[in-house]
């Protein structure tokens, strides 16, 4: 059991402490799951998280501290469980924040675990540069026709509902994008490639060949898709930091067990000062990451309109620190650290993508720098 003293920090209310304790017990009983069939595992996890009531927190009113506590706890037990939870939230984030009553009906399904959600923003030529989105949505009688390609779409291939971003052309660049709610069974949507990565989860490249959507599919206002995407990412970037924190806590825990039991020249590894130095650095990075993650989450929950800087700092620091903590954990485990199937080997693969998706580390640096520079220097 990792250090839980952070729950006494003033960022939290009693309901958060209750949530963390109840979810911990659920995780001990249900995780990890078998990952051999990734699609089946994810479908099963979404259903189980729905049945457990945890997905109620993934949409509707977003309490960012709860989202972060859930992600960090799930990530500590099973990275795929964190993924399944996170994508229900990110996928429906635009609907939670800006959806019409009709669109919000989908939240009943994603929060129950009876529908799987996906967030389709990235394209082959626009990952970090969202303003370069080239998928088009043209006006047709009674609605919109969408054409283009999306890639690196998590849950692509198993999702029931997508939020998709396309160029509607009100202005060039960032001011000409819009968001749409797109059921997976529309005509013209093709899953053209499934993508295999070092920590496997459902991931796909999609093609839209003249997909027709009604007027009611537009989320928010036409031309405001970029700001809408950024507002969703403000919330969910903090939670990526939380997932990284969960991985780092697990790596520290595994390391403490390892250095207490492994002996070298007649003494436990833990007695060596150089090992203690590593442990101290790991613990320091874990606490610093937690402070940044829950500072961002608390700030948003207090009603801040934007937490762009706080969220970028939380994601950047927590993911980079977790990578270092996990790398040290692998080192302390020696050969066992690189053995397929060991906990720290799995963490080593799990953490890597978090420094890339939902805004790569260097994008977060750009966001932070712009937030502190005077206007004329940006
Ligand atoms: N919330 C609300 N509005 C925001 C915002 C936010 N977090 N961030 C920017 N905006 C607004 C800006 O205020 C600006 O509005 P005005 O035109 O009214 O002034 C508009 O959006 C354009 O912003 P900006 O000029 O900063 O846009 P850029 O094209 O320079 O993009 C970055 C900036 C790189 C920060 C942005 O494209 C980004 O975050 N990229 C990473 C995307 C990402 O995370 N991809 C992964 C996909 S999910 S796996």
pLDDT at 376 over 90: no
> DSSP label at 34?
P
Asked if the structure places residue 377 within a domain, the reply is no
| CB contact set of 140 (below 8 Å; sequence gap of 6+) | 212
Tens digit of each residue's pLDDT (9 = 90 or more) over 132-166: 999 999 999 999 999 999 999 999 999 999 999 99
pLDDT at 125 over 90: yes
Asked if the structure places residue 306 within a domain, the reply is yes
Task: Measure 84 CA to ligand 1 centroid, in angstroms.
Answer: 26
- 306 & 174 share domain: no
- 25 & 108 share domain: yes
Identify the sign of the CA torsion 138, 191, 50, 32.
negative
358 tagged catalytic: yes
What per-residue confidence (pLDDT) applies to 225?
A: 97
Quote the CA–CA distance of 215 and 41 in Å, as a whole number: 35
pTM of the full structure: 0.96
Beta pairing, strands 189-194 & 203-214: antiparallel
> DSSP label at 199?
S
pLDDT at 378 over 80: no
- 234 & 367 share domain: yes
The number of CA neighbours under 13 Å toward the Cβ of 362 is 3
Task: Measure 180 CA to ligand 1 centroid, in angstroms.
Answer: 18
- 145 & 270 share domain: no
Under a CB-based contact definition with an 8 Å cutoff, are residues 355 and 361 in contact? yes
We report the CATH number of the domain holding residue 336 as 1.20.140.10
Best of 230, 307, 366 to mutate for ligand 1, by most ligand atoms within 8 A of CB? 230
- 138 & 104 share domain: no
We report the CATH number of the domain holding residue 131 as 2.40.110.10
Task: DSSP for 245-310, please give it.
Answer: HHHHHHHHHHHHHHHHH-EETTEEGGGSHHHHHHHHHHHHHHHHHHHHHHHHHHHHHTT-S--HHH
Asked if the structure places residue 168 within a domain, the reply is yes
We report the CATH number of the domain holding residue 106 as 1.10.540.10
Instruction: Assign 375 a pLDDT band (cuts: 50, 70, 90).
Output: confident
171: closest CA among 131, 211, 122, 218?
Answer: 131
Quote the CA–CA distance of 269 and 271 in Å, as a whole number: 5
Residue nearest to atom 6 of ligand 1 (CA): 230
Tens digit of each residue's pLDDT (9 = 90 or more) over 39-70: 999 999 999 999 999 999 999 999 999 999 99
- Which atom of ligand 1 approaches the CA of 154 most closely? 49
Under a CB-based contact definition with an 8 Å cutoff, are residues 366 and 315 in contact? no
Asked if the structure places residue 252 within a domain, the reply is yes
Quote the CA–CA distance of 121 and 87 in Å, as a whole number: 13
pLDDT at 3 over 90: no
- 203 & 291 share domain: no
Asked if the structure places residue 128 within a domain, the reply is yes
Q: How many domains is the chain built from?
A: 3
- 352 & 315 share domain: yes
Instruction: Assign 299 a pLDDT band (cuts: 50, 70, 90).
Output: very high
Task: Measure 226 CA to ligand 1 centroid, in angstroms.
Answer: 7
CA angle 279, 26, 8 (to 5 degrees): 50
Give me Rg for the CA atoms of the chain: 21
Active-site residue, from 224, 285, 320, 358? 358
Best of 121, 176, 220, 226 to mutate for ligand 1, by most ligand atoms within 8 A of CB? 226
Task: Measure 229 CA to ligand 1 centroid, in angstroms.
Answer: 8
Residue nearest to atom 5 of ligand 1 (CA): 230
- 32 & 108 share domain: yes
Long-range contacts of 28-36, Cβ-Cβ distance < 8 Å, separation of 24 or more: 28/77, 31/74, 31/77, 31/78, 31/81, 32/77, 32/78, 32/80, 32/81, 33/78, 33/80, 33/81, 35/80, 35/200
Asked if the structure places residue 356 within a domain, the reply is yes
Asked if the structure places residue 69 within a domain, the reply is yes
Distance from the Cα of residue 112 to its chain's centroid: 19
What per-residue confidence (pLDDT) applies to 64?
A: 98
Backbone phi, psi, residue 253, to 5°: -60, -50
Residues with CB under 6 A from ligand 1: 121-122, 127-131, 174-175, 226-227, 230-231, 233-234, 306, 308, 357-359, 363, 366-367
What per-residue confidence (pLDDT) applies to 328?
A: 98
Q: Is 100 left (phi over 0), alpha (psi -120 to 50) or beta?
A: beta
- Which atom of ligand 1 approaches the CA of 175 most closely? 17
Tens digit of each residue's pLDDT (9 = 90 or more) over 350-368: 999 999 999 999 999 999 9
- 84 & 133 share domain: no
pLDDT at 320 over 80: yes
Domain range holding 51? 5-112
SS3 content of the chain, % helix, strand, coil (to 5): 60, 15, 25
What per-residue confidence (pLDDT) applies to 110?
A: 98
Quote the CA–CA distance of 288 and 313 in Å, as a whole number: 11
- 267 & 314 share domain: yes
How many CB atoms within 10 Å of residue 227?
Answer: 16
Share of the chain above pLDDT 70, in %: 100
- 95 & 168 share domain: no
- Which of the listed residues 85, 112, 139 is the one where a domain comes to its end? 112
Asked if the structure places residue 378 within a domain, the reply is no
- 286 & 301 share domain: yes
The helix (run of H) or strand (run of E) holding residue 345 is: helix 343-352
Best of 132, 174, 201, 232 to mutate for ligand 1, by most ligand atoms within 8 A of CB? 174
């Amino acid at each position: 059991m990792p250090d839980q003293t952070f729950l006494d920090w003033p960022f939290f209310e009693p309901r958060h402490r209750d949530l963390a304790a109840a979810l911990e017990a659920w995780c001990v009983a249900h995780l990890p799951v078998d990952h051999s069939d990734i699609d089946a595992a994810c479908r099963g996890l979404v259903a189980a998280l729905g049945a457990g009531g945890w997905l109620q927190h993934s949409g509707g009113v977003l309490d960012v501290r709860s989202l972060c506590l859930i992600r960090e706890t799930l990530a500590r037990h099973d990275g795929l469980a964190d993924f399944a939870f996170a994508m229900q939230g990110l996928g429906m984030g635009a609907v939670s924040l800006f959806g019409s009553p009709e669109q919000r009906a989908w939240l009943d399904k994603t929060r129950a675990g009876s529908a799987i959600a996906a967030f389709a923003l990235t394209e082959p030529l626009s990952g970090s540069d969202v303003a370069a989105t080239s998928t088009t949505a043209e006006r047709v009688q009674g609605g919109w026709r969408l054409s283009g390609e999306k890639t690196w779409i998590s849950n692509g291939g198993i999702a029931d509902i997508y939020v998709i971003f396309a160029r509607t052309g009100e202005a060039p660049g960032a001011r000409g994008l819009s968001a749409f709610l797109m059921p997976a069974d529309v005509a013209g949507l093709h899953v053209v490639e499934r993508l295999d990565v070092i920590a496997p989860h459902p991931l796909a490249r999609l093609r839209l060949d003249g997909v027709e959507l009604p007027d009611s599919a537009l989320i928010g206002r036409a031309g405001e898709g970029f700001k809408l995407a950024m507002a969703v990412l403000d919330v969910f970037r903090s939670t990526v930091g939380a997932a990284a924190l969960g991985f780092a806590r697990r790596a520290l825990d595994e390391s403490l067990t390892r250095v207490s039991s492994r002996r070298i020249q007649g003494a436990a590894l833990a007695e060596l000062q150089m090992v203690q130095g590593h442990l101290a650095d790991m613990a320091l990075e874990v606490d610093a990451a937690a402070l940044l993650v829950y500072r961002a989450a608390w700030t948003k929950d207090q009603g801040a309109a934007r937490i762009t800087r706080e969220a970028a700092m939380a994601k950047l620091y927590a993911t980079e620190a977790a990578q270092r903590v996990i790398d040290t954990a692998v080192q302390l485990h020696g050969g066992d650290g690189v053995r397929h199937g060991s906990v720290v080997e799995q963490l080593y693969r799990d953490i890597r993508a978090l420094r890339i998706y939902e805004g790569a580390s260097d994008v977060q640096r750009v966001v932070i720098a712009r937030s502190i520079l005077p206007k004329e220097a940006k």
